[in-house]
Amino acid sequence: MQSEQGPIEGVFSIERMAKIGTGTTARRVSQAALYYVREVEDERIELQGLNNRHVPFGPVETISKDELLSDYLPMPQLFKEVVGNLRMVQKSVARGDKFRKRGENFTAEYEYANALNLDEQNVRANFGIGLCLLSRDEEDKAKKVFDRILGLDTAFSDDHKHLFNEYGIALRKKKLFGQAVDYYRRALELSNDDENLWYNLARAQFERREWGACAEALAKCLGLAPDHEEGRKMMDFLTRKGLV
């Protein structure tokens, strides 16, 4: 754990009340919740829960430094394990990305699986395995993976938007235009402020000759980014050809 002279980083716990059992057997008990903690600027503290393998997962909360010091108990004995596990996940995902870009999909999938053994909610690892499956035309398995991703709270952060676009593009390149349209629509239900998601939805709809829907998606794209060059070109094409 970091010393008091530097920014706080470590593992902390807090006692929370939880309900266990149902009906007449239900009762409330005190349980310790564990968090990976990092101090960021202005003495703000970022908290991220630990899973049962002691790896940070899920959404990040922010509290004040005073709240941390008054309400939470430091757990220095767990810090080395947590940081070690976190680094193993990060290294496995990075290796998976490297092998996937080389086209070595079986090796990449092995690395992503190692990451998921420690952190089953890791967004990049889930995406990576899905893209590997898609590259091998295992479309049903890939669909199950991406359905799971859509249920992850952290999947729709800015850090992961490029992964959503990459998957949709992979579907389109496989000429799975219907799946690509369904996928982008589902992604946009949860993150509708990304002009590239709207543009790529329009691309898939263009391939299906759904001219009206394509124009609507392009309008959303250009409303968010009026200087989106590809979106403007496609809209001009639809207009010039009298398709909308």
Residues 222-233: tens digit of each pLDDT? 999 999 999 999
Beta strand 27-39 pairing with 44-50: antiparallel
Closest CA to 101 of 143, 135, 126: 135
Beta bridge partners of 19: 28
What is the pLDDT at residue 244?
83
What is the pLDDT at residue 157?
72
pLDDT tens profile 4-17: 567 899 999 998 76
Single pTM value for the model: 0.77
Query: Is the pLDDT at 2 greater than 60, yes or no?
Result: no
Confidence of residue 22 (pLDDT cuts 50, 70, 90): confident
Separation between Cα atoms, residue 214 and residue 208, nearest integer Å: 9
Separation between Cα atoms, residue 84 and residue 87, nearest integer Å: 5
Structure tokens at 196: 């590239």
What is the pLDDT at residue 26?
67
**CA separation (Å) from 222 to 140, 185, 189, 191?**
33, 17, 18, 16
Query: Is the pLDDT at 3 greater than 60, yes or no?
Result: no
User: What are the phi and psi torsion angles at 58 (to 5°)?
Assistant: 80, -175
pLDDT tens profile 118-144: 999 999 999 999 999 999 999 889 888
What is the pLDDT at residue 160?
78
What is the pLDDT at residue 1?
55
Query: Is the pLDDT at 97 greater than 80, yes or no?
Result: yes
**Core vs surface per residue 68-82: b (16+ CB within 10 A) or e:** beeebebbeebbeeb
What residue ranges define each of the domains in the chain, with the CATH number in brackets?
9-76 (no CATH), 176-243 (1.25.40.10)
Average pLDDT taken over every residue of the chain: 89
SS3 202: helix
What is the pLDDT at residue 24?
72
Separation between Cα atoms, residue 2 and residue 8, nearest integer Å: 6
What is the pLDDT at residue 148?
85
- Average pLDDT estimate for 42-46: 90
- Let me know: does 45 contact 8? Beta carbons within 8 Å: yes
SS3 185: helix
pLDDT tens profile 151-208: 887 777 777 778 878 888 888 888 889 888 988 888 888 778 989 989 999 999 999 9
What is the pLDDT at residue 101?
92
Between residues 33 and 26, the one the model is more confident about:
33
